[in-house]
Copies of this chain bind each other. A is one copy, B any other.
């Protein structure tokens, strides 16, 4: 509102960077999410590598819908940790109240990005709480991760869905079947390096 204030304009890169930075600040590494993906998918794709899992987690985290959910969830966790929320909301989030389901709702908006096939994987890891999820659920630390633990499970579930879609595309490509139109479009987009050249040449 001051004289020098720039008019607002969405900066997608800043949102993406903040997402990455806040995950790091809250102690979650991409590799840990990738380990959840590996746990969920290795029985379906025995040759799946950790590198692929990491890559797919990064692709999920590059989606705007996912970034918005991650930032909003971590924001609420942090405010709860600092004791700054309205009284009954503070209590519910601080204590990871079982009947408070907004964390699951945000998690679901993440899973949904790659379609309904990820619902099952989300529920499964959220129930078993392997690896990083166990640590995020440790209530003895004074940290609050009511949203983040669901979000991390959801990102892993979404990455698993993404792998399933991609593996099918690879299989069909091996059989000589054509690409999906959306990939064709993306493939013919202007080059990211700004040279404006046709890609892949």
Chain A interface (Cβ < 8 Å from any Cβ of B)? 1, 8-16, 18, 22, 58-59, 62-65, 68-69, 71-72, 74-76, 79, 84-89, 91-92, 94-95, 97-102, 104-109, 112-113, 115-117, 119-124, 126-128, 142, 164-165, 168-169, 171-173, 176-192, 194, 197-200
Contacts and interface: CB of A to CB of B under 8 A. Distances in A.
A62 B180 contact: yes
Contacts of A79: 75, 79, 84
A192 B179 contact: yes
The complex is assembled from copies of this chain, and their number is 4
Contacts of A182: 59, 62-63, 186
A112 to B, nearest CB: 5
The dominant DSSP class at the A interface is: helix
Contact of A102 (B109, B113, B126): B109
